[in-house]
Amino acid sequence: MGVVVALEDGKRSGPGIEPLAALVKDDLDRVNQLIVNKAGSDVTMIPEVANHLISSGGKRLRPMLTLAAARMCGYGGDGHIRLAASVEFMHTATLLHDDVVDDSTMRRGKPAARMVWGNPASVLVGDFLLGQAFRMMVEVGSMKALAILSDAAAVIAEGEVRQLAAAKNLATTEDEYLYVVFAKTASLFAASAEIGPVLGGRDHGEQAAFKSYGSNLGLVFQLIDDVLDYGGNSADLGKAVGDDLREGKITLPLVLAYRRGTDDDRAFWRDVVAREDLAEGDLEHAIGLMDRYRALDDTVDRARHFGAVARDALAPFPASEFKSALLDVVAFCIERAS
Amino acid sequence: MGVVVALEDGKRSGPGIEPLAALVKDDLDRVNQLIVNKAGSDVTMIPEVANHLISSGGKRLRPMLTLAAARMCGYGGDGHIRLAASVEFMHTATLLHDDVVDDSTMRRGKPAARMVWGNPASVLVGDFLLGQAFRMMVEVGSMKALAILSDAAAVIAEGEVRQLAAAKNLATTEDEYLYVVFAKTASLFAASAEIGPVLGGRDHGEQAAFKSYGSNLGLVFQLIDDVLDYGGNSADLGKAVGDDLREGKITLPLVLAYRRGTDDDRAFWRDVVAREDLAEGDLEHAIGLMDRYRALDDTVDRARHFGAVARDALAPFPASEFKSALLDVVAFCIERAS
């Protein structure tokens, strides 16, 4: 886990994502170059829309998983560069389509692409990036990696439709919600990690280990994201929070708070979720209920559980810089919430 | 070309698409069964949206090309069934996204899926079908077929964005328009045909021949579609026409009429294309101008040219029922306009 250091804002944190980023830096530079090339087109709208999102400060967590897993498994070729770029394109395509589906206005602190270029461009550039992703996968020539990534593409889309169909359903159970998170988020994390040992020619057991690591890390990532949308478990209202509640999105903190609440509390949640926008005081009241019923703390606890499963998935591997960096990422994802 | 027979409505036509449909009937039944299976999901919205479009009377022309090309090239396996279903899913995904992009209200005489289930569902179910298409391609295991179809997916999406970027641009040249048609429509026809000889293990020359046949047939298909949207070259106003003009879509008949018109004519076109809806008499005036400048007749002539190229692409192949049926399809596509 490394030494816990004090950050500038007074929070304490482990080494975080930096060891991983340092280990894959050269490879990631090549991925970033490839991303710029493959998002290029003489149809200028394509690089404009794509770069708006790609260069807007995503952490490149998924491609880093692919790069690290491939290297850790002794892969010496360069197919992992293309697959890592493919994974990032699949992710970017999903974001473009998600923003259209959710009528989102902001993404990563900037106006969503749809607010600048419109819904049609967002849909079509997403399709283009998905097509480019499959092209790059085919160039790499690993049928096994293609199977894993095309499975993920179908599972992601099915998860998105499932979420749409269950939108604003406060009776959603924790298990139902986790299934959506698995499909929407964890499946691409899982695929990103699993293709590393596949490229490295490792056996089924090692592939399954990386898949499990990725999948559980993805669950951690999304659950903590859900917590952060209510301001983190320290309820730090200084951050931009409340988007999920504003859009009536059912996430785990809300599932827990709703199930644990009184009839009055539930009436409040039903009312807020059904309305188009938040009224004065709604968010504060919501966070107050989350506090009272420990919904945020317990969502972080659930995330810790999946984090533990992710760590144990990698337990059989001998100690290495890569292994240590991948374990640090789990801690990093959890610590984001505190 | 077969015997020309009189149809019920008094029009004359060759054997059309029926010989092809008869030759691939058993295979197509299997494709249709697979389509139903792979569009299935316990997320009920997925089969609902997919079946709305899939079962709404499409001709299945693209999958029939794949089936016929594979059989004509001596392929004895059953990978062509999955690839044919993949091609139809790619096409269906494109239609779902197109209707969102174009704000279309109708598709094949029924309300567009987006009018029934909304834009979000149309975007996401399209993504799901694309994911399923790639899954099926991977199952077949032909890297060459995967390369052809993933290329097509990227080209189609790039063509769609190009069309969006050039929307309502009356200065579009015929060449620019044809490039869009190639990307949006002909590239999938080309891929559908080319994967047949690929499965059959035929040499590059035969693959190129089928690719050329498919590509040129796709150009014919789209140009005739453009003509039909203005009522066909007999200007039969009994049909549902005018959608392209209403949406301000630049198609070849409009490109020709605009370039050949007087300043007054051009002012009319600019006005109509800029407006949200058609005014009383607009469509009749537009069709009158098309007549005066032979825009529809000459679009059909352009289509005949591509039809001739498609036929010659197959010329080196020995006579067979399949070859004859594929040539009949070219005639069928052209005759739709008369």
B121, A164 contact by CB (below 8 A): yes
ipTM of the complex: 0.86
pLDDT at B9: 46
pLDDT at B5: 36
Question: Cβ of B100 under 8 Å from any chain A Cβ?
Answer: yes
pLDDT at A104: 85
CB-CB under 8 Å, B165 with A127 = no
**Closest chain B residue to A147 measured between Cα atoms?**
B138
How confident is the model over B31-43, as a mean pLDDT? 94
DSSP lists the bridge partners of residue B5 as: B13
Structure tokens at A153: 């593409």
How confident is the model over B118-132, as a mean pLDDT? 96
Suggest the residue from A97, A128, A168 to mutate for an interface test with chain B (most B CBs closer than 10 A): A128
How confident is the model over B93-97, as a mean pLDDT? 96
pLDDT at A53: 84
CA angle A135, A141, A142 (to 5 degrees): 115
Q: From chain B, pick out residues whose CB is under 8 angstroms from the CB of A79.
A: none
Burial class (CB in 10 A: 0-12, 13-18, 19+), A167: middle
How confident is the model over B259-280, as a mean pLDDT? 95
CATH class of A15-335: mainly alpha
| pLDDT one-digit tens code per residue, B57-70 | 788 999 999 999 99
pLDDT at B294: 96
Q: From chain A, pick out residues whose CB is under 8 angstroms from the CB of B137.
A: 150
- Please state, in angstroms and rounded to a whole number, the distance separating the CA atoms of residues A2 and A16: 9
**Closest chain B residue to A96 measured between Cα atoms?**
B123
- Long-range CB pairs of B280-287, under 8 A, 24+ apart, other chains included: B282/B245, B283/B241, B283/B242, B283/B245, B284/B237, B286/B230, B286/B242, B286/B245, B286/B257, B287/B230, B287/B231, B287/B235, B287/B237, B287/B241
pLDDT at A10: 42
Among A123, A134, A138, select the one facing B123 at the smallest CB separation.
A123
Structure tokens at A132: 């480019």
- Please state, in angstroms and rounded to a whole number, the distance separating the CA atoms of residues A58 and A49: 15
pLDDT at A290: 96
CATH class of B13-335: mainly alpha
**Closest chain B residue to A148 measured between Cα atoms?**
B135
Q: Identify the DSSP state of A319.
A: P
CB-CB under 8 Å, B161 with A45 = yes
Report the greatest alpha carbon distance in chain B: 60
Q: Where along chain B do its domains lie?
A: 13-335
Q: From chain A, pick out residues whose CB is under 8 angstroms from the CB of B119.
A: 100-101, 119
Rg (alpha carbons) of chain A, rounded to whole number: 20
Q: Which residues make Cβ contacts (< 8 Å) with residue A13, sequence separation at least 6?
A: A4, A5, A7, A332, A335
**Chain A, chain B: beta-carbon pairs less than 8 Å apart:** 142
pLDDT at A110: 85
Q: From chain B, pick out residues whose CB is under 8 angstroms from the CB of A96.
A: none
CB-CB under 8 Å, A97 with B161 = no
Q: From chain A, pick out residues whose CB is under 8 angstroms from the CB of B138.
A: 143, 146-147, 150
CB-CB under 8 Å, B128 with A157 = yes
CB-CB under 8 Å, B161 with A124 = yes
pLDDT at B55: 83
How far apart are the CA of B157 and the nearest CA of chain A, in angstroms? 5
CB-CB under 8 Å, A124 with B156 = no
CB-CB under 8 Å, B97 with A161 = no
- Please state, in angstroms and rounded to a whole number, the distance separating the CA atoms of residues B159 and B146: 20
What percent of chain A stands above pLDDT 90?
A: 81
CB-CB under 8 Å, B43 with A128 = no
CB-CB under 8 Å, A143 with B141 = yes
Q: Identify the DSSP state of A293.
A: T
**Closest chain A residue to B154 measured between Cα atoms?**
A131
pLDDT at B10: 42
Q: From chain A, pick out residues whose CB is under 8 angstroms from the CB of B97.
A: 123-124, 127
| pLDDT one-digit tens code per residue, B227-240 | 999 987 554 443 46
pLDDT at B2: 35
Residue where the block lists tokens 């087109």 = A41
Question: Cβ of A308 under 8 Å from any chain B Cβ?
Answer: no
**HEC string of chain B?**
CCCCEECCCCCEECCCCHHHHHHCHHHHHHHHHHHHHHCCCCCCHHHHHHHHHHCCCCCCHHHHHHHHHHHHCCCCCCHHHHHHHHHHHHHHHHHHHHHHHCCCCEECCEECHHHHHCHHHHHHHHHHHHHHHHHHHHHHCCHHHHHHHHHHHHHHHHHHHHHHHCCCCCCCCHHHHHHHHHHHHHHHHHHHHHHHHHHCCCCHHHHHHHHHHHHHHHHHHHHHHHHHCCCCCCCCCCCCCCHHHHCCCCCHHHHHHHHHCCHHHHHHHHHHHHCCCCCCCHHHHHHHHHHHCCHHHHHHHHHHHHHHHHHHHHCCCCCCHHHHHHHHHHHHHHHCCC
Question: Cβ of A45 under 8 Å from any chain B Cβ?
Answer: yes
Q: Which residues of chain A have pLDDT under 70?
A: 1-13, 233-240
What percent of chain B stands above pLDDT 70?
A: 94
Structure tokens at B52: 């709305």
How far apart are the CA of A320 and the nearest CA of chain B, in angstroms? 34
Q: From chain B, pick out residues whose CB is under 8 angstroms from the CB of A183.
A: none
Q: From chain A, pick out residues whose CB is under 8 angstroms from the CB of B141.
A: 143
Among B45, B128, B161, select the one facing A128 at the smallest CB separation.
B161
pLDDT at B276: 85
| pLDDT one-digit tens code per residue, A68-109 | 999 999 999 999 999 999 999 999 999 999 999 988 888 877
Question: Cβ of B41 under 8 Å from any chain A Cβ?
Answer: yes
pLDDT at A237: 42
Question: Cβ of B162 under 8 Å from any chain A Cβ?
Answer: yes
Among A46, A123, A130, select the one facing B101 at the smallest CB separation.
A123
